A = this chain, B = another copy of it.
Amino acid sequence: MLPTIAREGDVVVMIDQRKLPARELYVRCKTAPDVARAIKTMVIRGAPAIGVAAALGLAVGMRRSKATGTQKFAAEFQKTCELMASTRPTAVNLFWAIERMKRSFATGVRAGGSVDQIKDRLDREAQLIHDEDVASCRAMGAFGAAVVPDDARILTHCNAGALATAGYGTALGVIRGAVEQGKRVAVFADETRPFLQGARLTAWELVRDGIQTTVITDNMAGALMRQKKVDLVVVGADRIAANGDTANKIGTYGVAVLAREHQIPFYVAAPLSTVDLHTPDGAHIPIEERDAREVTHVGGAQLAPEGALIWNPAFDVTPHQYIGGIITERGILRPPYVESLKRAVDNVPGPRDPAYIS
């Protein structure tokens, strides 16, 4: 299992994804602000992984609290939740995980628990979020493998792999699931400018797994499809609106349009924690804009001249019409998504299900 994120005592350890594939370095976060900074600066990224990081960050952060009374502890917790929520705006898993931690906290308070008991409860909840994420990915992999033909040539964009989750991956989980079922696959990884998650992370983890991986620049996907070298596209998601519109890494929309032009099935793989029924459609999903320097520089190399303007949205929205299916831990959802998403989410144990609050 790839060491994306783990808890060691009261420290959250993450592999530094900014340094891959050249170096395998680990960042040790001792406090909640450490974790928040790691999320913001993309030491860790990927919607499910961000959720897990926020939960573990809240747990280790509150573990350090010196508050003795529940009220002061609750005020600190609220502030720490706000800090975590301020890190990145688009991926909804972050807010979902914070919400779960809040519910756990509230349950602890209602049960009359001490500060130490609530700390224990937060620890367990964060670990559960972590472990459930891996389990979700494995379930997605098992369901998703059904849509992968043998000898499939699969295009993916960005990194929706072990590094984007607590382990195994969403889109790459589907690929791993197919491989586990004995299918032969060859993967094409869009390099995914500007942060290069495809070239740096997807290729790195698939090569480690012995899965044949070809890196292409993002603008090669069209030519690749036209030459009939792609059987299937599968990508992750940062937020899925109630109607199925999906925010994912910038460039996903272009891949979806190309896939439809070439009649290639286009799938999104994501846990139900990525679904946001409170957002009616893609137009309502906030899209993070990141620093111009991500575009203008790679390493020490200056790629664009002084004086040029830069546009750097981190995500785009793929309208639901382009999506052939959404692979979740509960099965593959099909259009109309406004119905299938609601049915799947209502069924899931989680913050919205009172039975879950134990």
Interface residues of chain A, those whose CB is within 8 Å of chain B, are 20-22, 157, 188-194, 196, 199-200, 203-204, 207, 212-224, 226, 250-251, 253-255, 257-258, 261, 295-296, 298-313, 316-317
Contacts and interface: CB of A to CB of B under 8 A. Distances in A.
B213 A309 contact: yes
* Interface core residue of A214, A220, A250, A310 (most chain B CB under 10 Å): A220
A123 B253 CA distance: 51
Contact of A223 (B188, B219, B250): B250
A191 B254 contact: no
Contacts of A222: 251, 253-254, 257, 316
Contact of A218 (B188, B219, B224, B261): B219
B203 A305 contact: yes
A185 to B, nearest CB: 13
Given A190-B219, A257-B222, A316-B222, A214 B303 contact: no
Contacts of A255: 219
Contacts of A207: 305-308
Copies of chain A in the complex? 2
A214 B310 contact: yes
10 contacts: A199-B303, A203-B304, A204-B305, A207-B305, A215-B295, A218-B219, A257-B258, A298-B298, A298-B301, A299-B299
Given A220-B311, A257-B257, 18 more contacts: A21-B304, A191-B303, A192-B219, A194-B217, A196-B303, A207-B308, A212-B309, A214-B309, A216-B295, A218-B218, A218-B251, A220-B251, A220-B313, A222-B257, A223-B316, A261-B261, A299-B299, A299-B300
Contacts of A307: 203, 207, 213
Contacts of A204: 305, 308
Contacts of A189: 308
Contacts of A226: 253, 316-317
A214 B193 CA distance: 16
Contacts of A306: 21, 207
Contacts of A157: 219
Contacts of A212: 309
A310 B219 contact: no
Contacts of A251: 217-220, 222
Top 10 closest A-B pairs, CB basis? A219-B251, A299-B301, A222-B254, A21-B305, A223-B316, A193-B217, A207-B307, A218-B219, A203-B308, A214-B309
Contacts of A309: 212-215
Contact of A220 (B221, B250, B302): B250
A308 B213 contact: yes
